Amino acid sequence: MFTLLSVLPAPPGGTPAELAQDGIDFFSTWIGRIGGIVAIVGALKFALAIKDDNDDGKMQAVLIMVSGFMIQSAIDAGLLNIPATYTEAVATAEFRSILSFIGKWIRRVGALGFFVGALSFGFAVKDNNAVTKVTGLKTMAAGATAMALSAASVLTQFV
């Protein structure tokens, strides 16, 4: 006799914590794979855009590639491996450590942006190019804003 239950697979067994960890492992594996695909797509797009004179296409390709690598790095760092048996205090501490990690890297990227803007502004002063001076100042301001916001511990206010 045919029943619906004969077609369905047997439900998984184990404790709720084991089932939750299996789900986290499954999704982290697939998120990492998707990150790899995104990185490959960005690399291919960049390779195809090398011979074009369009800098916007190259920048977009690099951003796509970096996004894919960031997704993979987050998975490799084990950011999703949070046990299901955490207490509220331990979960809050883990979340704060993740936010401090993100804040540290935002400060570093902001400092890099500030440095690139300062170089651009310095070379524009040498060449007396007004447009490049304004672009350099905007880049410096964006980098300084990123550094200031992450250094002011704004990220920890979400907890």
pLDDT tens for the chain, 159 residues long, are 566 666 666 667 777 777 777 777 788 888 888 888 888 888 888 888 877 777 777 888 888 888 888 887 777 776 666 665 667 787 778 777 877 788 888 888 889 999 999 999 998 888 888 888 999 999 999 989 888 887 766 555 554
**Residue at 131 is within a domain:** yes
**What's residue 80's pLDDT?**
61
> What is the token pair recorded at 35?
């990150």
**Residue at 3 is within a domain:** no
**Residue at 148 is within a domain:** yes
> Among 34, 55, 85, which residue terminates a domain?
85
Cα gap 31→28, rounded to integer Å: 5
CA nearest to 82, candidates 45, 59, 109, 74: 74
CB atoms within 10 A of CB 140: 19
Encoded amino acid at 125, one letter? V
CA nearest to 21, candidates 83, 68, 71: 83
**Residue at 41 is within a domain:** yes
